[in-house]
Structure 1
Amino acid sequence: MSVDRKTFVFSDVARTNGAFVTDRRSLEVVRERIVAAIRTSVADAGADGVVVAMSGGLDSTLTTALAVEAVGNENVLGLGLPCHKTDAAHVNDARTLAEGMGIDYEEIQLRPLLEAFEGTVASELESESTSDASGRPDERTHAVGNAVARLRMVTAYYAANRQSRLVIGTANRSERLLGYFTKYGDGAADVYPLGDCYKTEVRALAKHIGIPRRIIGKEPTAGFWATQTDADELGARYDVIDPLLYRLVENDLPIEDAVADLRIDRETAREIESLYEATTHKRSTPPTPGIPDRGDDGTDSLR
């Protein structure tokens, strides 16, 4: 297996603590590389700063902290973008964290936008939502959840356009490899500071730079519905997912060898592998027809 990597590459970082970057020395190198890359991206774009959508979770908190180090707290805008009642605790965390970092912070309630969307667009295109017998939300609920993620990114880019800033994405490598993000929602950004870091490494880096333990210890969730968690959606926790993905993607091992090496459930491993394969389109630039005599602009071709 292979994946096109267009974020920051840490191939030269020593891995003295196994496959993942978790020792202090290597984490410091990664920290310096990420901070320098954010600073360079802002300078190259001639931007005045960055915008980060803050969920109150680990990834967005770490991303914001690294952005502050890169460009200064006066040049970072945090956005709290709640949409559901269950977002209240998380947005309170985001607000507190933003205040602690000394950055500008704006909180915008997106519920009215979602209600307008459902009353105009969704009501015309979809039948009434139902749930299956397991209680898991149906496909329409997933589609609405994706719409919320895109409303958040519309808001972030509006702020960026109005204030000459870059939008900083918060997705990590584990999420990117599994397509665990909304295309053109939280998957849209100008820079992905954590894009080469597995979730295992995100946690280690967060501890290294002093992110509060209560944030590091939060159960990962995309916040699509009240009880949603990453583990439920992906079929396993990251301490299972990351070692498997590393072997499949970085080491290019066959699934049988990876399963034997890790001694994990074969069906779970197959499901994770299938997620990786099925979400290739999320990690690729949309293809063009490949008309002859046109210059290569870096996009994929339909040929």
Structure 2
Amino acid sequence: MKFSKDIIRSNPEYEADLVRDFLSAQVKGVPKRDGIIVGVSGGVDSAVVASLAVRAVGKENVLGLILPEKESNPISAEYAMKVINSLGIEHIKVELTESVASFDAYKNRDKVIKEIFPDYTPEYKFNIYLPQNLLDVDRYNFYTLRVDDGKGNIREKRLTKKQLLAITAAANVKIRSRMIALYYWGEQENYLVAGTTNKTEFILGDYCKFGDGGTDVECVSHLYKTNIYELAEYLEVPKEIRERTPSPDTFSLPVSDTDFYFCLPFNILDPLLYAWQYNISAAETASALDLGEDQVKRAFRDFQSKHASTEHIRVLPASIERDWTQFVNKKPF
């Protein structure tokens, strides 16, 4: 098949039936489950998964969890309820602030930010982001901290590795707290925990190990983000959710997935990612997408870097018997 910008387009009806049948089979597997639980974030991915779960096992056997904490965007819970009401499923709202605070995640993170901006207080808003000139400039993925004091003063400073790790570790506590809540309620109800990670996120590593990557099944990880939007329209996900800018919703100052990690809009990112994944040449890719060959090569280098640096979250923990060459080569069988 000749490469083109439309090569990743899917058949939403086929994909909806495929995921429905997959989820149904997983619920009936070993151990047999009584239903499906989904963390409903107010974003398009979880809305699609919740909709497909209803198709698989019926609305009476799907439970939606809304999982806010004190820094979540309030619109997330509002949109999550729109999904839940449109599907007619049961829901539980679990406030995660105390869970996150019990690890001193807020306190330790704020201490790091205060070292950078001494006047910082928890009332300020902040996020982190990557430079967005991915296609046009050879650059490294250094994160920048952005702080808003609420009075129109926004300041920014590039983070050191240690500072970045402290801030992202705190954000990951939030994500892992969501996973704990999903399994707590899922195990009580004997429900399957359905993940919402899409293929774009999976390949490039934009998810948290033992967080949103901690699930029983990943039913849309074969679909690029572009395909998620196609499915959302087919499934009649509420329009405002389909049009909402995707966000990790882990920082007090909203930041898009593009600014935080991907550095490209999905209509450009996904065809480029397909080309990189299936070894389409930079020249052919550039011609099909109306980009410069150097631009494509920059994107490919970025994909390779992100994929390699996040490989550990896609695989089982390393073990001596399976992974350590010195041991494997000495096995007597």
TM range (shorter): 0.7 to 0.9
Q: Greater strand percent: which structure?
A: 2
Matching of residue 242 in structure 1 with residue 270 in structure 2:
yes
* Alignment partner of 1:206 is 2:189: no
Residue 53 (structure 1) aligned with residue 36 (structure 2): no
1:19 aligned to which of 4, 7, 14: 7
Higher relative contact order (CA 8 A, sep 6+): 2
Preserved contact between residue 4 and residue 288 of structure 2 (Cα < 8 Å): no
Amino acid at match of 2:83: L
Q: Which moved more, 1:263-272 or 1:238-247?
A: 263-272
Specify the alignment match of 1:6 in structure 2.
none
| Alpha carbons of structure 1 residues 181 and 272: separation in structure 2 relative to 1, 3 Å | same
Q: What SS does the corresponding residue of 1:134 show, helix, strand or coil?
A: strand
Indicate the RMSD between aligned Cα atoms, in angstroms: 2.5
Q: Report the secondary structure of 1:168's partner residue.
A: strand
Whole-angstrom CA distance in 2 between matches of 1:221 and 1:302:
38
Quick one: distance in 1 between partners of 2:158 and 2:193?
A: 32
CA drift at 1:96: 2.5
Post-superposition Cα deviations, 1:169-224, rounded to whole Å, max 9, x if no partner, equal: 00000000010001110011111111100001110111112112211111111112
CA contact (8 A) 1:142 1:224 kept: no
Aligned position for 1:252: 279
Alignment of 1:74 onto 2:60: yes
Q: Is the 8 A contact 2:100 2:174 kept in 1?
A: yes
Residues in 2 aligned to 1:136 and 1:227: alpha-carbon distance in whole angstroms? 18
State the distance in 1 between where 2:90 and 2:318 align. 38
Report whether the alignment pairs 1:32 with 2:17: yes
- Identity of aligned pairs, percent? 27
Taking the aligned partners of 2:302 and 2:4, their CA distance within structure 1 comes to: 30
2:128 corresponds in structure 1 to none
State how many pairs are aligned: 273
Q: 1:89 & 1:127 partners in 2: Cα distance?
A: 24
1:75-114 per-position Cα deviation (integer Å, ceiling 9, x unaligned): 1110000013443111111123212211110011111111
Q: Which has the larger radius of gyration?
A: 2
1:302 corresponds to = 324
User: How far did 1:167 drift?
Assistant: 0.3
1:260 CA drift (Å): 5.7
Give the Å deviation of 1:229: 1.2
Q: Give the deviation of 1:277 after TM superposition.
A: 2.1
Task: Give me the whole-angstrom Cα distance separating, in 2, the residues matched to 1:192 and 1:89.
Answer: 26
CA distance in 2, matches of 1:184, 1:155: 12
Gapped runs of 5+ residues in structure 2?
117-144, 146-154, 326-333
1:270 is the counterpart of 2:297: no
